[in-house]
Structure 1
Amino acid sequence: MFGIVGYGSYLPYWRLDRAAITSVLGSGGGRGTRSVAGYDEDTTSMGVEAARVAMRAVPDSWQPNLLAFATTAPGYLDKTNATAIHAALRLDASVGAFDAGASCRSGIGAAWMAQAAGGLAVLSDIRTGRPGSSDESAGGDAAVALAFGPDPIAVPVASASSTAEFIDRWRVPGEAYSRQWEERFGEHAYVPLATDAVTDVLKQAELTIDQIDKVIVTGVHARAVRAVTGRLGARSDAVVDDLAGSVGNTGAAHWALLLAGVLDEAEPDQHVLVVHLADGCDAWLLRTTEQLVGDRPRRSTTLAEQLAAPTGSLDAASFMTWRGFLEREPPRRPEPDRPAAPPSLRGTAWKYGFVGAQDDGGFVHLPPGRVSVGSGAIDEMTPVPMADRAATIATFTIDRLAFSLAPPVVAAIVDFDGGGRMQVELTDVDPDAVAIGDRVEMTFRRLYTVDGIHNYFWKARPVRGGS
């Protein structure tokens, strides 16, 4: 049976203080902060970042048999979003890439699909709501990737589902926010479904709730989650904090985000129960193994390290602008042209995988070329993946007139470790704090969207805590 062999979590750099919502709208808000995807991020780009962390934690010999991607906020409809993640990870063409639906429940489905096949599940979500709503303040943005294969660090013990059709939360195509039925009804519907699923899982495993080391209960219906948590009867020290005060509820990715945090600190032979409420209840029981203390790393960036890393404070006006609820006057410069499909296909390795070319003299060409600038040799280049190489800022400029949803644009010339120099745009950065000699790392982003086509490429950001 395949189990989890590696995982990765990704929290975006930006945080919105919920009190800022109240100060602008006079209502909504609340206490604490929520995570916010940057203006140049979407669920696809965040999924790439989480998957890169997971791929650094798996055994060197591991390769996925498929890639399953789940989100409630896809960048495309009709077109498969998972293929961009596939290209950015430089996976073999024989590896299938599939979108697993657009509901909160699709996250657990993607994980079970990947577990059955020995693949990679990528769960990513951007949660929003009408300005001033509880969805806006209580939501959060994040991504998680789970890699499945032999010799796992966590093996599935039992699983169960309890499904029912009822109107709890819904959003029709084209709408920017969800609607929700009265909360007492949700509690009434979810509690018996969760009771059935958890009872079934514990019976399969021949365990009692007191024997479970960690219990994760999630769902976008807060009242139902609280009610189910209370009814389970788990030990108080076993119930996992839901990060409501610092991150918010990250929808389809949330149960996996909490699971990543548990695995970061877990010891061998512990039982972890996941209870996910969405159009029913899915319960999943895992047991950690001795592989947690093996020679290979189980992760490269922990959730705790990301929570402790420096973050950017976002104002409510910028948040609403990035979410599309506030249309502001852009800089008076021409908007970018639509990305063309043929050159994008020809340059997939560079555009998505960030693969350069190295000549026989060791010079790294960025972007890759056919002719060596040193020897003049033609078509004698070696592909060089650059996405995981750090770099140093050689010089930079701050452009306050260039088109951007978050001006000013910071452009820099960077020198990569091991060779290679190019101009990149910096992101997740304070323009006033940039300095020559700063260390940066590459991150997959959405540069812009024109005529419904997303232009994905790589930017640089300051090296973050835990990277």
Structure 2
Amino acid sequence: MKLSEIIKYEVAFPKYRATGQMLQSSSTVKSQHCICYVDEDLFTLSFSAASKIIDESCAIDAIFFATSTPVFKERYHASFMADLLGLKQGIFAMDIISTARAGTDALLLADKLVNAGQYKNILLIAANVDFAAIGDENQSSGHAAMAMVISTEKGLAEISSSESFSSSFAEEFYYKGQKTVYDLRFSRSAGFKANIENAWIKTAPQNGKFGGIIINSPYARMILGIMKKSGFDTDKQLLKDNVKSMVGNTAACHALLLLISAIENCNGSVLLFDYMNGTNVISLKIKSKPDIPKLANLEFINIESYHDYLKLRKQGDFTDINYRHQEMFSSEMMMEREKGRLLYLMADECTKCHSVFLIKIARCNHCHGKEFFEKKLQRKGTVYTLTSELYFPSSFPPINMIVIDIDGGGRLTLQQTDDLYSTEENKIKIGDRVELVYRKMIENDSKPNYFWKCIKI
């Protein structure tokens, strides 16, 4: 029987990162935490990752969205993302949320459905955007998103097997909005150790050939003795979590990022144990490497002060009793009607003079021609002119408005983003090259509102 395979994947991280020492000056732990910019959220990160692997060569017929930090209630994240990505109407879309094991839950389900012949190409998106409580920021959380396609086609890694082992016991969880923590010594033994020993006995002993073992759990040390008794060399075969040290613990997408790291850095077969109130065990056979590693040579900008960090997480003025949520001047009817242009960047090109217009017009502004054909605008261009304005309330004013000549035709006026600090690297001048990115229009919005902005490249 042909097994399902991971044929491609992408990752997305915010540009900005906070160090443990900046968050808590008394901390001796060297930690890093990727932090969303003011106009980034769960969906912008997910779109950044998923849009890079959607193309005509791969017809997506199902989409899964996994997160432990949902934005919506009574609305599907997967359906929302399917629309943003321009996938077909009525596609099978499913949310898998609630726990940090949601990412591998989704991968396990995708593997079963593809192997059963129900679907050919399933897009799996996992994302995490949450903040630790004020005063407890040094717990290793980080913001990230990843997307991968599980398919019947040949790809980077074959999913040799996938199993799940449930557990009725949980070490810590939330009940009625409050965190519940049981006795650590007892709970880790009754929960993690008992459950993962059962999973290990049923999956690992006959698989001593594995080149790498991944244990995604804060209690991983408790299984080292079992691994050694089974004949595994923990020094060579147990893979270190090099993702957490770069970006923090990314919850629902963390185990999948560890799999991506293994695909890029290991050979042979890899066995993943993802524990959270039960264990998912996934075996991968690595077949090839991506042309460009996704987790190598990542560049970040460190947040300089705790004050800037609080602004990024919308504290202070944004939580004041007198603060009013902002609402963009728009309408749902207009946004839905003009979705092809405002979201998918479909424009009209004059058949006579080849001028390109994003906004629909009756006749060409240049040659007055009345015949047009539709084309999709590219997402890169050159700065024509720019200005700094105070259009909307902003955490870091002013807002730079950039007029861009799009490659292949068309002109757009967009906000600059990722401009927390003005440096030579992000200071935009006339003639500079920029790239379009999908972001929130208003920071502390009362409704979902997204549009294109630009960053310097």
* Common topology (TM > 0.5): yes
**Bigger mean CA offset, 442-451 vs 452-461:** 442-451
Residues 332, 218 of structure 1: alpha-carbon distance in 2 compared, 3 angstrom cutoff? closer
Q: Which residue of 2 aligns with 1:141?
A: 143
Does structure 1 residue 420 correspond to structure 2 residue 410?
A: yes
Does structure 1 residue 232 correspond to structure 2 residue 227?
A: yes
Tell me how far apart the structure 1 counterparts of residues 384 and 222 of structure 2 sit (CA, whole Å).
Answer: 55
Q: Which residue of 1 aligns with 2:284?
A: 286
SS in 2 for 1:171: strand
Contact 2:402–2:416 at 8 Å: present in 1 too?
yes
Tell me how far apart the structure 2 counterparts of residues 133 and 74 of structure 1 sit (CA, whole Å).
Answer: 21
Tell me how far apart the structure 1 counterparts of residues 360 and 103 of structure 2 sit (CA, whole Å).
Answer: 37
Tell me how far apart the structure 2 counterparts of residues 181 and 377 of structure 1 sit (CA, whole Å).
Answer: 73
Residues 450, 321 of structure 1: alpha-carbon distance in 2 compared, 3 angstrom cutoff? closer
Amino acid at match of 2:214: I
Residue 310 of structure 1: how far off its partner (Å): 4.1
Q: Which runs of 5+ in 1 are unaligned?
A: none
Tell me how far apart the structure 1 counterparts of residues 172 and 9 of structure 2 sit (CA, whole Å).
Answer: 29
Residues 427, 238 of structure 1: alpha-carbon distance in 2 compared, 3 angstrom cutoff? farther
Matches within 5 A, 1:66-105: 66-105=62-101
Residue 238 of structure 1: how far off its partner (Å): 3.1
Does structure 1 residue 124 correspond to structure 2 residue 124?
A: no
Q: Which has the larger radius of gyration?
A: 2
Q: Which residue of 1 aligns with 2:446?
A: 452
Q: Which residue of 2 aligns with 1:255?
A: 255
Does structure 1 residue 169 correspond to structure 2 residue 169?
A: no
Contact 1:444–1:457 at 8 Å: present in 2 too?
yes
Contact 2:383–2:432 at 8 Å: present in 1 too?
yes
Amino acid at match of 1:304: A
Residues 456, 179 of structure 1: alpha-carbon distance in 2 compared, 3 angstrom cutoff? farther
Residues 362, 16 of structure 1: alpha-carbon distance in 2 compared, 3 angstrom cutoff? same
Q: Which residue of 1 aligns with 2:116?
A: none
Residue 69 of structure 1: how far off its partner (Å): 0.5
Contact 1:217–1:229 at 8 Å: present in 2 too?
no
Does structure 1 residue 345 correspond to structure 2 residue 299?
A: no
Q: Which residue of 2 aligns with 1:435?
A: 428
Q: Which residue of 2 aligns with 1:2?
A: 4
Matches within 5 A, 1:42-61: 42-55=41-54, 61=57
**Bigger mean CA offset, 31-40 vs 240-249:** 240-249
Contact 1:50–1:144 at 8 Å: present in 2 too?
yes
Contact 1:20–1:29 at 8 Å: present in 2 too?
no
Residue 419 of structure 1: how far off its partner (Å): 1.7
Q: Which runs of 5+ in 2 are unaligned?
A: 114-118
CA deviations 1:237-276 (Å, max 9, x no partner) are 3333323332110000001112222223444xx1011111
Amino acid at match of 2:156: I
Tell me how far apart the structure 2 counterparts of residues 180 and 404 of structure 1 sit (CA, whole Å).
Answer: 39
SS in 1 for 2:155: coil
Residue 97 of structure 1: how far off its partner (Å): 2.5
Residue 329 of structure 1: how far off its partner (Å): 8.8
Tell me how far apart the structure 2 counterparts of residues 145 and 212 of structure 1 sit (CA, whole Å).
Answer: 25
Amino acid at match of 2:63: L
Contact 2:325–2:446 at 8 Å: present in 1 too?
no
Count residues with an aligned counterpart: 435
SS in 2 for 1:45: helix
Q: Which residue of 2 aligns with 1:398?
A: 388
Contact 2:303–2:309 at 8 Å: present in 1 too?
no
Residue 172 of structure 1: how far off its partner (Å): 5.5
**Bigger mean CA offset, 13-22 vs 230-239:** 230-239
Residues 43, 404 of structure 1: alpha-carbon distance in 2 compared, 3 angstrom cutoff? same
Q: Which residue of 2 aligns with 1:32?
A: 31
Q: Which residue of 2 aligns with 1:21?
A: 23
Does structure 1 residue 373 correspond to structure 2 residue 369?
A: no
Match of 2:295 among 286, 298, 303: 303
What TM-score, normalized to structure 2?
0.85
Contact 1:21–1:29 at 8 Å: present in 2 too?
no
Residues 178, 370 of structure 1: alpha-carbon distance in 2 compared, 3 angstrom cutoff? farther
Matches within 5 A, 1:135-284: 136-149=138-151, 150-171=153-174, 180-188=181-189, 189-202=191-204, 206-208=206-208, 211-219=209-217, 222=218, 224-228=219-223, 231-233=226-228, 234-235=232-233, 236-242=235-241, 243-267=243-267, 270-284=268-282
Residues 317, 62 of structure 1: alpha-carbon distance in 2 compared, 3 angstrom cutoff? same
Give percent identity, aligned residues only: 20
Tell me how far apart the structure 2 counterparts of residues 178 and 338 of structure 1 sit (CA, whole Å).
Answer: 39
Tell me how far apart the structure 2 counterparts of residues 168 and 333 of structure 1 sit (CA, whole Å).
Answer: 39
SS in 2 for 1:320: helix
Match of 2:108 among 109, 112, 120: 112
What TM-score, normalized to structure 1?
0.84
Residues 156, 340 of structure 1: alpha-carbon distance in 2 compared, 3 angstrom cutoff? same
Contact 2:392–2:442 at 8 Å: present in 1 too?
no
Amino acid at match of 1:447: M
Tell me how far apart the structure 2 counterparts of residues 351 and 122 of structure 1 sit (CA, whole Å).
Answer: 23
SS in 2 for 1:431: coil
Amino acid at match of 1:353: Y
Tell me how far apart the structure 2 counterparts of residues 15 and 239 of structure 1 sit (CA, whole Å).
Answer: 27
Contact 1:240–1:258 at 8 Å: present in 2 too?
no
Tell me how far apart the structure 2 counterparts of residues 345 and 299 of structure 1 sit (CA, whole Å).
Answer: 37
Residues 299, 87 of structure 1: alpha-carbon distance in 2 compared, 3 angstrom cutoff? farther
Contact 2:326–2:445 at 8 Å: present in 1 too?
no
Residue 48 of structure 1: how far off its partner (Å): 0.9
Residue 441 of structure 1: how far off its partner (Å): 1.5
CA deviations 1:365-388 (Å, max 9, x no partner) are 2345564334444573313143xx
Residue 112 of structure 1: how far off its partner (Å): 2.4
Residues 333, 94 of structure 1: alpha-carbon distance in 2 compared, 3 angstrom cutoff? closer
Contact 1:428–1:462 at 8 Å: present in 2 too?
no
Residue 143 of structure 1: how far off its partner (Å): 0.6
